[in-house]
């Protein structure tokens, strides 16, 4: 048994689960007077209701004990202080520094990192304001009106998801698009209706070596050069990266580069210059509001007691289900159409961070780590897969995310119906209906856990809060599971093999292929085109 699973408190949680197996959410409400008062939180305009979980006071206490025994508070402090908690890459983890807009010092490796952060933020503001005002001109003197972000993973999903989420805050005269897939459809679909003279590409890549991004950037460069000439690259390309050398080698003027740093992980980089396309879409003031929302949760996470800490509670509930109830998937269902990409964003955040099976000591874990995170917007999801939530054989905890106010001032009907659906689903999952032996097919067992996160309205600030909640939830899970949430070695092998296969496919090399039989046959068919 590992050190974690042999902890007395871990074993206590195993017995909590066995005790609660014979109980259910309905009974828990009946037996605990004013249960709601014990399982809700109000934090800076956010209401969290976690009462419909299969937990009681004893379990809640034990989960908190687990976090305390694993020194969660010290670990949180270590991150905020800039200690090199990403120990496999010997890096600090300081995405939180990006949203602290104060000039308070933060010393890393003997240097205050805040001036550089604020300087890049100021350059981003100046640049996006020039675009929004129509002052940034392309090669032919026309104003830039189209922004195409080329990037993938953390250099795409953050700005893509948030630009869509904040569509109602966007400058309508600017079109902001995202190209990520190496499939040529992605680039073509996004640029075929654009005038190159009015188009700016933002090549976003932390490493500036990612094949998808560099291939798309090369093709975008050819598109610009073929219509505007070689000298147009200067006016139609900017870069966001940590790798100045590679940016220059690509042909982008270093004056047109927005820098970020190794202490910002790709999937945590939205608040760095990776957010440039979002800033252009919604304007610097809204971007700043978003940073403030992030910062409000950063402060809450760092300062609030564990028992009243939203990310901590959400993380421990996931641990409860994943490690003690054998849950393998969790759903996140935002009840706002513009948040439809949130589950996709959270997939990278949580699954790339915590999809690990080697612990801090280099030993394999003997417990489960991250579940499969998935979902899509309500109410659509209700008409697709909620049947399985309600009557399927698996336990799938759900996070419902809702907004009290509509995005539209004149909306008197839609938002109430939307919210009614969200509340109805959470209630039906928890309490089901009375078992009717006459019609067993219609019986709903209930006892299916969910959380409800309720915000005032979807705004830059509340979006920042929401993302920060999940970032810190991911951090807490990593601490409990004793894994490094901040590397991603698991993606490398596939990248390396793809490089080799690409060179075989390009050289039509069918004879000398050192792969397994399956891969060899697939390569052969592709080369022979049959
Ligand atoms: O393939 C995984 C990954 O390294 C992610 O972690 C990262 O967000 C993405 O690729 C893109 O990387 P880059 O910003 O260096 O192009």
Index of the ligand 1 atom closest to the CA of residue 241: 14
User: How far away, in angstroms, is 212 Cα from ligand 1 center?
Assistant: 10
Domains of the chain: 8-69+304-487 (3.40.50.10490), 107-286 (3.40.50.10490), 499-529 (no CATH)
Q: Which residues pair with 402 in a beta bridge?
A: 454
Strand partners, 238: 202
Q: Residue 169's pLDDT is what?
A: 98
Write the residue with the smallest CA distance to atom 10 of ligand 1: 153
Ligand 1 atom having least distance to the Cα of 154: 8
- Tell me the mean pLDDT in the region 437-455: 91
436 pLDDT higher than 70: no
pLDDT band, residue 437 (cuts 50/70/90): low
228-253 pLDDT, tens per residue?
A: 999 999 999 999 999 999 999 999 99
Per-residue pLDDT tens for 353-407? 999 999 999 999 999 999 999 999 999 999 999 999 999 999 999 999 999 999 9
CA–CA–CA angle 468, 472, 476 (5° rounding): 170
- Residue 242, ligand 1, Cβ within 6 A: no
Question: Which tens digits make up the pLDDT trace of 139-154?
Answer: 999 999 999 999 999 9
SS3 category, 505: helix
Q: Quote the pLDDT of residue 310.
A: 99
Residue pair 359/482 in contact by the 8 Å Cβ criterion: yes
The reported pTM is 0.97
459 lines ligand 1 (CB under 6 A): no
- Please work out whether the CB of residue 213 comes within 6 Å of at least one atom of ligand 1: yes
Q: 527: how many CB neighbours lie within 10 A of its CB?
A: 16
Say if ligand 1 is within 6 A of residue 180 CB.
Answer: no
For residue 174, give the nearest of 155, 209, 208, 147 by alpha carbon.
147
In eight-state DSSP terms, residue 266 is G
Q: How far is CA 230 from CA 195, 247, 248, 487, in A?
A: 16, 16, 15, 38
Residue nearest to atom 3 of ligand 1 (CA): 153
- Mean pLDDT over each residue of the chain, to the nearest integer: 96
Q: What is the mean pLDDT of residues 326-345?
A: 98
- pLDDT tens track for 257-271: 999 999 999 999 999
pLDDT at 529 over 90: no
**φ, ψ dihedrals at 334, nearest 5°:** -80, 130
Q: Any idea which residues carry the catalytic annotation?
A: 352, 383, 495
What is the arithmetic mean of pLDDT over 279-286?
98
The model's confidence at residue 480, banded by pLDDT at 50, 70 and 90, is: very high
């Amino acid at each position: 048994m590992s050190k974690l699973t042999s902890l007395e408190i871990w074993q206590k949680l195993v017995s909590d689960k066995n005790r609660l197996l014979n109980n259910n959410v309905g009974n828990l409400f009946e037996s605990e007077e004013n249960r709601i008062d014990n399982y809700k939180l109000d934090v800076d305009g956010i209401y969290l209701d976690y009462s419909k979980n299969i937990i009681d006071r004893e379990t809640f206490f034990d989960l908190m004990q687990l976090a305390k025994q694993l020194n969660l508070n010290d670990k949180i402090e270590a991150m905020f202080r800039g200690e090199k908690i990403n120990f496999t890459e010997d890096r600090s983890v300081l995405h939180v520094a990006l949203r602290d807009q104060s000039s308070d010092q933060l010393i890393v490796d003997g240097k205050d990192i805040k001036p550089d952060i604020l300087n890049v933020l100021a350059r981003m503001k100046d640049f996006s304001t020039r675009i929004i005002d129509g002052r940034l001109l392309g090669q032919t003197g026309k104003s830039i009106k189209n922004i195409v972000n080329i990037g993938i993973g953390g250099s795409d999903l953050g700005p893509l998801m948030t630009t869509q989420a904040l569509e109602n805050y966007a400058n309508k005269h600017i079109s902001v698009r995202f190209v990520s897939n190496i499939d040529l459809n992605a680039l073509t679909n996004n640029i075929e209706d654009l005038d190159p003279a009015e188009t700016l590409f933002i090549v976003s890549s932390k490493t500036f070596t990612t094949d998808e991004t560099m291939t798309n950037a090369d093709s975008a460069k050819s598109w610009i050069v073929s219509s505007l000439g070689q000298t147009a690259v200067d006016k139609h390309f900017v870069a966001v990266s940590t790798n100045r050398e590679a940016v220059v080698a690509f042909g982008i003027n270093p004056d047109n580069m927005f820098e970020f740093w190794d202490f910002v992980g790709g999937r945590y980089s939205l608040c760095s210059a990776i957010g440039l396309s979002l800033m252009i879409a919604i304007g610097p003031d809204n971007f700043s509001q978003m940073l403030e929302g992030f910062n409000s949760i950063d402060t809450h996470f760092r300062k609030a007691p564990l028992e009243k800490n939203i990310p901590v509670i959400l993380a421990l509930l996931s641990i409860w289900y994943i490690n003690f109830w054998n849950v393998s998937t969790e759903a996140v269902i935002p009840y706002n159409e513009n948040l439809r990409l949130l589950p996709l964003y959270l997939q990278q955040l949580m699954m790339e961070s915590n999809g690990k099976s080697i612990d801090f000591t280099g030993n394999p874990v003997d417990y489960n780590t991250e579940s499969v995170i998935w979902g899509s917007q309500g109410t659509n999801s209700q008409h697709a897969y909620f049947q399985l939530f309600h009557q399927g054989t698996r336990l799938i905890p759900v996070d419902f995310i809702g907004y009290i106010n509509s995005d539209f001032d004149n909306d008197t009907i839609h938002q109430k119906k939307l919210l009614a659906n969200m509340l109805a689903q959470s209630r039906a999952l928890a309490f089901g209906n009375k078992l009717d032996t006459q019609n067993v097919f219609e019986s709903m067992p209930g006892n299916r856990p969910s959380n409800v996160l309720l915000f005032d309205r979807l705004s830059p600030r509340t979006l920042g809060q929401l993302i920060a909640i999940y970032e810190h939830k991911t951090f807490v899970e990593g601490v409990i599971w004793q894994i490094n949430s901040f590397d991603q070695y698991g993606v490398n092998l596939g990248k390396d093999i793809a490089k080799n296969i690409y060179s075989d496919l390009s050289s039509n090399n069918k004879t000398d292929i050192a792969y397994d039989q399956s891969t060899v046959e697939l390569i052969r068919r592709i080369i022979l085109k049959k």
